[in-house]
Amino acid sequence: MKNLVILGAGTAGTMMANHLVSKLKEDIWKITIIDQYKTHYYQPGFLFLPFDIYTTKQVKKSGKEFIPKEVNYIQEKIEQIIPDKNEIILDNSKRLNYDILIIATGTKIAPEETEGMTGPMWHKNIFDFYTYEGAKALRNKFREWEGGKLVIHITEMPIKCPVAPLEFAFLADSYFKNEGIRDKVDITYVTPLDGAFTKPKATEALHYLLEEKGIKEVTDFNIERVDYENNKIIDYEDTEIDYDLLVTVPTNMGDSLIERSGLGDDLNFVPTNKATLQTTANENIFALGDCTNLPTSKAGSVAHFEAEILTENILRYIEGKKLKEEFDGHANCFIETGNGKALLIDFNYTQEPVEGSFPFPGVGPLSLLKESRINHMGKMAFKWIYWNMLIKGMHIPFVSATMTKRGKKLN
């Protein structure tokens, strides 16, 4: 028997297990997936949890439900990958050999990277919303908060779901309007980039959103430390921003397993070929999802498109064929803009988001880079699609793994 091992049973790893179980001959290949956590979180739901739009129950399920029964599912912490020996060491010192390894260990927040962030005020008046615990703690804070300076802050790029902080700002505007205290809440969006929107067409099409919602923008802010005693964030040029409530997106890093195994870059992301999804260091190790260093968004849709292409490349690798250089960085993301509306963007490594219709050119029903109610319905329907189709590795009808230019207004 040969061994294919998948590290991580999150969105990307679970999808790969589901794809491969029907494609690999079961008398030759044994598929194993390893993850220390029992819960599978619907991570896009963390955005809605603080605003009481989703309940805690709606964002978590048992991971076991989504792993095919033919797959060997090990719930154990992974200690190290030893590429030279094609070996995995688990936390309980058990060893496992692999012929092919797929890394899908994702990205984590690393608030300890910024001085003062995880001090005594962490989850008191400094929150993240990229973890279940952070999003839930923030929900409880919002329920009792009476207003003040709300600062929404990005520490550094890259981050998972790069539009989530903006969506958070839009939803906060709606939430406090509904609570009747919007006039008591001052919302500031702080980014290390030179704008909340950084691509020219998106800036042109969407900047009105910040203006109409009265959200202030502070750009080029590279945080040095959080002064939690005086409720200030301070950057390397000594610019100070006061807050009463800080909602920050901390530094995102790959799993520490990657660092322990010597397979990562500065941020523990795995250097990966951007078209084939083979890691650059080892030809029998592949990577997908948030754990890679690819210059595309860290998002579930990206993992979904990558999974379709990686499945084919795993089969080609087994047959000794040349890998397909097919992945184009395709991402497709709904962006909540508040008040029951949303945007949709569809883009790849080279094509920035533009206006148009999706998925049917000229028809829609979804519109690209424009606010609409139907886009919001799409975002809400996505939770069902996620649990019932996406992580089961099913193809989403009419949406191809590579980006299509049809239906897009290109110059």
CB of 402 vs other proteins, minimal distance in Å: 17
Please identify, using beta-carbon distances, which residue of 142 and 305 lies nearer to other proteins.
305
Contacting other proteins (CB under 8 A), which of 265, 283, 373, 381?
A: 265
* Binding region for other proteins (CB under 8 A) out of 51-59, 119-127, 143-151, 161-169: 161-169
332 residue type, one letter: N
* Binding region for other proteins (CB under 8 A) out of 82-90, 198-206, 284-292, 377-385: 198-206
* C-alpha Rg value of the chain to the nearest Å: 21
Please identify, using beta-carbon distances, which residue of 121 and 275 lies nearer to other proteins.
275
The DSSP secondary structure of 9-53, one letter per residue, reads -SHHHHHHHHHHHTTS-TTTEEEEEE-S-SEEE-GGGGGTGGGTS
Considering only residues 234 to 263 of the shown chain, the ones binding other proteins according to CB under 8 A are 236-237, 251
DSSP state of 79: E
Least Cα distance to 139 among 235, 258, 259, 56 occurs for 56
Determine, following the binding rule CB under 8 A, whether residue 335 of this chain makes contact with other proteins: yes
Token readout for 410 is 């290109």
**Distance in angstroms (rounded) separating the CA atoms of residues 125 and 41:** 24
CB of 77 vs other proteins, minimal distance in Å: 26
Determine, following the binding rule CB under 8 A, whether residue 218 of this chain makes contact with other proteins: no
CB of 299 vs other proteins, minimal distance in Å: 8
* Binding region for other proteins (CB under 8 A) out of 65-73, 121-129, 266-274, 309-317: 266-274
Please identify, using beta-carbon distances, which residue of 37 and 236 lies nearer to other proteins.
236
CB of 227 vs other proteins, minimal distance in Å: 18
Determine, following the binding rule CB under 8 A, whether residue 311 of this chain makes contact with other proteins: no
Contacting other proteins (CB under 8 A), which of 66, 197, 305, 358?
A: 197
Residue 65, classed as helix, strand or coil, is helix
Least Cα distance to 269 among 260, 278, 259 occurs for 259
Least Cα distance to 129 among 247, 254, 32 occurs for 247
> Where are the strands (E) in 194-231, listed by range?
216-218, 223-227
Least Cα distance to 114 among 242, 248, 219 occurs for 248
Q: How far is CA 382 from CA 8, 89, 376, 377, 389, in A?
A: 22, 36, 10, 8, 10
CB of 73 vs other proteins, minimal distance in Å: 33
Considering only residues 288 to 307 of the shown chain, the ones binding other proteins according to CB under 8 A are 293, 295, 297
Q: What angle do CA 399, 208, 336 make, to 5 degrees?
A: 40
Determine, following the binding rule CB under 8 A, whether residue 344 of this chain makes contact with other proteins: no
Please identify, using beta-carbon distances, which residue of 32 and 273 lies nearer to other proteins.
273
Please identify, using beta-carbon distances, which residue of 84 and 266 lies nearer to other proteins.
266
CB of 154 vs other proteins, minimal distance in Å: 8
Please identify, using beta-carbon distances, which residue of 26 and 220 lies nearer to other proteins.
220
Buried b (16+ CB within 10 A) or exposed e, 253-282: bbbebbeebebbeebbbbebbbbbbbbeee
Least Cα distance to 287 among 344, 343, 327 occurs for 327
| Residues at the contact surface with other proteins, assessed by CB under 8 A | 113, 156-158, 162-163, 166, 191-194, 197-200, 202, 206, 220, 222, 224, 236-237, 251, 265-267, 271, 274, 293, 295, 297, 331, 333, 335, 345, 347, 353
